[in-house]
Amino acid sequence: MLCPKCHHVESKVIDSRTAHNDSAIRRRRECLACGHRFTTYEVVEAPLMVVKKDGSREDFDKEKILGGLRHACRKRPVSVGQFDDIVQAVLNKAEQEHLREIPTTEVGRIVMEKLKAIDQVAYVRFASVYLQFQAVGDFEDALNKVRDNG
């Protein structure tokens, strides 16, 4: 934190408290060079939330995605590294778009898109579980596409 007066980089925190409904931390600082006191607001890195179909929210839990992937990829040539890449793709999407929350349908869409490029059988297995609440036609489309691709 640069001192606004002398631009010295070191300061000590005199006081800190949350602000803006806990989304930021307000800190009173004192410059170690000139003693000037100033205030900073630092945004708290909020955990990513997922929004479920019924509108309820819960913490993003990568274990839930990994669980679904392990199930879908059983006995398939998909590596743990590829699982991590898929989870990372979801997190990247949230970060790029500065999302604080992401719908489960969007998480599923990203996972399916990635899985489709890696392993078609795992993709259909995952889709069959993930799309169970959506139109049955979606799953049939997915199956037909796999059949068409041989």
Instruction: Output the DSSP codes for 55-114.
Output: S-EEE--HHHHHHHHHHHTTTSS--HHHHHHHHHHHHHHHHHTT-SEEEHHHHHHHHHHH
Shortest separation between residue 27's beta carbon and Zn ion, angstroms = 15
Please, are residues 116 and 128 in contact by the beta-carbon 8 Å criterion? no
Give whichever of 30 and 119 is closer to Zn ion, judged by the CB atom. Answer: 30
Give whichever of 1 and 51 is closer to Zn ion, judged by the CB atom. Answer: 1
Among 3, 48, 115, 127, binds Zn ion (CB under 5 A): 3
Give whichever of 33 and 143 is closer to Zn ion, judged by the CB atom. Answer: 33
| Residue 41, token pair as written in the block | 């607001």
Q: Confirm or reject binding of residue 33 to Zn ion (CB under 5 A).
A: yes
Give the residues lining the site for Zn ion (CB under 5 A).
3, 5-6, 8, 31, 33-34, 36
